[in-house]
Structure 1
Amino acid sequence: MRRFIFPCVAATGLLIVSALPVFAQTSDYGLPQLGSTGGSTATQEEYRLGRAWLRQFRAQAPSWQDPISQHYVESLVNRLLPHSDLSNIQPLVTLIDSRLLNAFAVPGGIIGVNAGLFSFADSEDAFASVLAHELGHISQRHHARQQQRAEETQLPTMAALLAGMLIAAGGGGQAGIATAMGSQAAFLQDQLAYSRRYEQEADRVGLRALAEAGFDPNAMVEMFRSMQRMASLQGGNPPEFLLTHPVTESRISDTQARAAQLSVSNRRDATPQYDMIRARALLDLHRNDPNQAITRLAQSDPAPEARRYLEALVSAERGDLQGALNRLDQLATELPDLTMIPATAVEVALDAGNHEETQSRAQRLLRLFPGHTPTQLLQAEALLQSDPEQAYDLLRNLADNRPEDPQIFILLTEAAGNTGRNGWGHLARAEELQLTGRIDRAIRQLDIADDVATREGNTRLLQRIEQRRKDFLDYRETLEQF
């Protein structure tokens, strides 16, 4: 199974993002009053800060680059989005390679999900309830409203709190929390009542979104109860999610009462898809012992097809390419609507180094589902060896459609180099560096690209570099706020 994990400091997950203000310096957002509907359209400032924060986070937390799982989570978010009081926003999903139970929301539409959330949530409705809650935080603009509260009460600078959050995200764990709380004890006490109210608001928005999108709102109640049980079993080490989203009996009761009043619209037929995505996450989390992934999946009584899917992945891990492909082909015949199954066969063939099989399967799938991003990425990687020109064209199109995806620029850098486009290769490398928070190195990479373009007399590339240099300097200025 493909695992593109960027080298960086190991992380414990984001610890206090949804519950506390994130940005030390912000402009006037035209904020709603506490308890109002919140206003659903993010400002340009929120969008800019959110993207900058994500770059800083990527520099410290290990990304789980699984295109098939990424595509699934994005589709789930897009299913919830129209019912979440959000407009004029394109959310950006990032997956984190961490076994810890956590998810978070950042202004501007950033949704973060730890691989550990898949392990904990044993149904699609349960998983969707967490996404719906996080979208509720964004739609109610809780971060901006908390920042306004900080300014109104003239509380001290947020720099120490931000430092603590980055220590925690970078692997400091409890030390990071201690730094944040020790430096801002008065601030945290002042914000506690507000964060509880924000959690309640996000619950209400999330419950309605779940019901209107065809999910069971009672799944949110069950998730809270499961988290509460987990916290009691772990004593003084509750799951990461509960550090930002404290669960109380009154909150559970309120959620349960509201869920009971909602009727589910257009309930969709259950499919094994979520269990299959969960199998991928479990195999990644237990990559050193696939049998643990099999055991863990079986504990939640998954769909039989999901067990067979995981067995196919494990067969591939153990070098049995044909056995894995046979299992996947049989599943694809039984479940022709699940594109992820033939896409997984493409992935398995690529992992085994069989580029001819990869190309054949990718082309067949893309004829049926043009624009399927995971398959396009897998095809592009195979083409790097056999037809770098085609790989370059494909990756350029993907980069235009997904300019916030670092993995695309990693592959594009190689494709440009393999086709003699050295200047464009350095520019692609610069893009990947800035997307992962290494902005100074990205600017130096632009200088190299500029030198190459000047020697080649490539005026089009020079114009593009100049524009991106201005953008990168703006990014750096924003990153300095954290």
Structure 2
Amino acid sequence: MQNNNLSKTTSLITTALLTVFLSSPFGYAQQDSKNKLPEIGAAGSSVLSIDKERQIGDAMMRHLRASQPIIHDPILTEYINDLGNRMVRHAQDVNYNFEFFLINNKEINAFAFFGGHIGVHSGLITTATTESELASVLAHEISHVTQRHLARKMEASSRNQPLTMAGMISGVLLALVNPTVGMAALSTTMAASQQAGINYTRGNEKEADRVGIQLLANSGFNPMGAPNFFAKLSEKYRYTSKPPAMLLTHPMPESRIAEARVRAQNFGAPQIAPSLSFELAKTRIQARYQSTPKDNIRLYLAKLDKQQYSYQAVAQYGLAIAYFENKQYSQAQEILEQLRTQERNNLFYIDVLTDTYIQLEQFDAALAMLAEVEKLMPKNQVVALNYANALLSAKKYQQAEQVLQDFLLIDKNNYLANDLLTQVYQAQKNMAMMHATKAEVLALLGAYPRAIDELQTGYNFANEKGNEKPLIKKRIKARIIQLQEQEEKLKRLN
């Protein structure tokens, strides 16, 4: 499914977040008072509960959706969550679900914050050579979360002057996403020594290395991916004035890289075949989100001509996306249909082929393909969202509505699903539900006042004379109360 240019709002919940953070030490969710970490202790858990971390993490995630170029791409979202959760399953003391997401940014960076949210810049994926290298970064961030490093650091900072914490707030999230800009924002309100409060200590980094490398090995990846990737970054940017974002927040002195290499070698270096999913995800980012379609066509034609690929299918896939982005839909269709003869249920191929069929108005072909796959993978987000999009394009609105409503029962906060459902209701001229569903999109961006306004508008449509819909009115009134309570809950955190 193509990443739509979805509308965004600048009406955020910054004030509510500020209220929360001025009264709360920062923390990484994962472990409660039962957790035993002899080197550091259980600081952080006594003043920042798991429930409070969830609430703060949820609020920050809504802020990021509204302010950062998050990649709302179902196949890439599914890939990065599958990869991350393969390691979360082997982690200790996991108290809630992790959420991994991608930001369209060529910077090499990854970051974690409250509630198990882990963001990965697209540049990190395209820089990694192997899936084990990418997995090593996720394992490292997971380990910062499970060890509650930032919670402990911020608890110590909270014992300082209140104004220090107040000055820190506005730049913390920005510093996570963009360390260069974020650090500059923080430095206007804090002394250099105080500014360092958001960074991890050397002990934190070593512990995250130790736990992360073990997690990497236990999850079936090559533990050498960790020292190899960080050594590559350190060497590449050794003499540059602008190191990547990751090296600003995760400094890599030679001694630390050497220690990580020794630790990884203790687990051995298993021979792992190149991951097709990793290569396809990397190629999808390059072909869809980087460079121009014409340049990418030349790039992948050259790769195929010179046989410069780990899998031929990966280069063909990149070429098909480049053709699609260049509106050469017939050429894209030919390649993708050929790829499906090799691996019929590969969702990377099915996703782009669906978009291609839609552009060529071959709706029957798209729907037949997706109906077949849906039987094998019911409620899979890639299948459900593509199926709904194809049904919407084919003007089969009731079926599209049903597919999306069923999917939202298991993933109510899916941004694309709510946006698609808004379009379905608009096409049906069901204005009450269109405004109600648009409110859900706005709520996911943290724009609660605007979401409540949309709900009130939807209520008015449902209340029109001769068109009264009592059940919808009750649902909308209940949802208004829920959103008001969510907004109040943020304020009550202080």
- Name the TM-score class by shorter chain: 0.7 to 0.9
Verify the 8 A CA contact 1:47 1:108 in the aligned structure 2. yes
Q: Work out whether 1:374 is the aligned partner of 2:353.
A: no
Alignment equivalent of 2:286, drawn from 282, 289, 296: 282
Q: Distance in 2 between matches of 1:28 and 1:112?
A: 17
Verify the 8 A CA contact 1:38 1:140 in the aligned structure 2. no
SS at match of 1:178: helix
1:77 is aligned to: 84
Deviation sequence 1:317-376 (CA, Å, 0-9, x none): 333333323322332332356332233322332344432222122112223332221121
Verify the 8 A CA contact 1:5 1:62 in the aligned structure 2. no
Counterpart code for 2:3: R
* Stretch moving more, 410-419 or 448-457: 448-457
User: How many angstroms does 1:24 deviate by?
Assistant: 3.5
Alignment equivalent of 1:246, drawn from 233, 237, 251: 251
Q: Work out whether 1:354 is the aligned partner of 2:326.
A: no
SS at match of 1:183: coil
Verify the 8 A CA contact 1:381 1:391 in the aligned structure 2. yes
2:338 is aligned to: 330
CA 1:163–1:190: 2 relative to 1, 3 Å: closer
Deviation sequence 1:43-102 (CA, Å, 0-9, x none): 111111101001112221112111111111111112111112242311122221212111
1:106 is aligned to: 113
CA 1:220–1:166: 2 relative to 1, 3 Å: closer
Alignment equivalent of 1:387, drawn from 396, 407, 410: 396
Deviation sequence 1:95-145 (CA, Å, 0-9, x none): 212121111111111111111112111211111111111111221122322
Verify the 8 A CA contact 2:150 2:198 in the aligned structure 1. no
Q: Distance in 1 between matches of 2:43 and 2:266?
A: 23
Counterpart code for 2:322: V
2:144 is aligned to: 137
User: How many angstroms does 1:478 deviate by?
Assistant: 6.3
Q: CA RMSD in A?
A: 3.3
1:447 is aligned to: 456
Gaps of 5+ in 2: 11-19
Counterpart code for 1:100: E
Alignment equivalent of 1:59, drawn from 56, 66, 71: 66
1:341 is aligned to: 349
Matches within 5 A, 1:41-190: 43-154=50-161, 156-165=163-172, 174-185=180-191, 186-189=193-196
1:473 is aligned to: 484
User: How many angstroms does 1:184 deviate by?
Assistant: 2.2
Q: Distance in 1 between matches of 2:225 and 2:181?
A: 33
User: How many angstroms does 1:220 deviate by?
Assistant: 0.8
Q: Distance in 1 between matches of 2:222 and 2:42?
A: 23
SS at match of 1:59: helix
CA 1:177–1:454: 2 relative to 1, 3 Å: same
Counterpart code for 1:197: G
Q: Work out whether 1:396 is the aligned partner of 2:401.
A: no
Counterpart code for 1:467: A
Verify the 8 A CA contact 2:432 2:462 in the aligned structure 1. yes
Q: Distance in 2 between matches of 1:191 and 1:177?
A: 9
Q: Distance in 2 between matches of 1:139 and 1:467?
A: 36
Q: Work out whether 1:410 is the aligned partner of 2:419.
A: yes
User: How many angstroms does 1:274 deviate by?
Assistant: 1.0
Q: Work out whether 1:257 is the aligned partner of 2:266.
A: no
Verify the 8 A CA contact 1:345 1:361 in the aligned structure 2. no
Q: Distance in 2 between matches of 1:417 and 1:190?
A: 48
Q: Distance in 1 between matches of 2:433 and 2:88?
A: 36
User: How many angstroms does 1:152 deviate by?
Assistant: 3.4
Q: Distance in 2 between matches of 1:459 and 1:157?
A: 52
Verify the 8 A CA contact 2:133 2:226 in the aligned structure 1. yes
User: How many angstroms does 1:435 deviate by?
Assistant: 0.6
1:311 is aligned to: 319
User: How many angstroms does 1:289 deviate by?
Assistant: 4.2
Q: Distance in 2 between matches of 1:207 and 1:27?
A: 28
User: How many angstroms does 1:36 deviate by?
Assistant: 4.3
Verify the 8 A CA contact 2:71 2:102 in the aligned structure 1. yes
CA 1:244–1:335: 2 relative to 1, 3 Å: same
Verify the 8 A CA contact 2:171 2:182 in the aligned structure 1. yes
Structure 2 length as normaliser, TM-score?
Answer: 0.84
Q: Work out whether 1:205 is the aligned partner of 2:211.
A: yes
Aligned residues: 467
Q: Distance in 2 between matches of 1:362 and 1:86?
A: 38
* Stretch moving more, 30-39 or 127-136: 30-39
Q: Distance in 2 between matches of 1:269 and 1:322?
A: 33
Q: Distance in 2 between matches of 1:469 and 1:107?
A: 26
2:16 is aligned to: none
Verify the 8 A CA contact 2:100 2:119 in the aligned structure 1. yes
Gaps of 5+ in 1: 11-21
1:15 is aligned to: none
Q: Distance in 2 between matches of 1:250 and 1:306?
A: 37
1:461 is aligned to: 472
CA 1:243–1:463: 2 relative to 1, 3 Å: farther
Q: Distance in 1 between matches of 2:321 and 2:212?
A: 34
Deviation sequence 1:158-183 (CA, Å, 0-9, x none): 33323234666898x84542220232
User: How many angstroms does 1:201 deviate by?
Assistant: 2.1
Q: Distance in 2 between matches of 1:86 and 1:70?
A: 24
CA 1:405–1:392: 2 relative to 1, 3 Å: same
SS at match of 1:426: helix
1:26 is aligned to: 24
Q: Work out whether 1:422 is the aligned partner of 2:426.
A: no
Verify the 8 A CA contact 1:167 1:175 in the aligned structure 2. yes
CA 1:38–1:469: 2 relative to 1, 3 Å: same
Verify the 8 A CA contact 2:230 2:257 in the aligned structure 1. yes
Q: Distance in 2 between matches of 1:190 and 1:271?
A: 38
1:230 is aligned to: 236
* Stretch moving more, 77-86 or 450-459: 450-459
CA 1:156–1:43: 2 relative to 1, 3 Å: same
Verify the 8 A CA contact 2:62 2:445 in the aligned structure 1. yes
Q: Distance in 2 between matches of 1:237 and 1:86?
A: 37
* Stretch moving more, 420-429 or 289-298: 289-298
Q: Distance in 1 between matches of 2:485 and 2:272?
A: 44
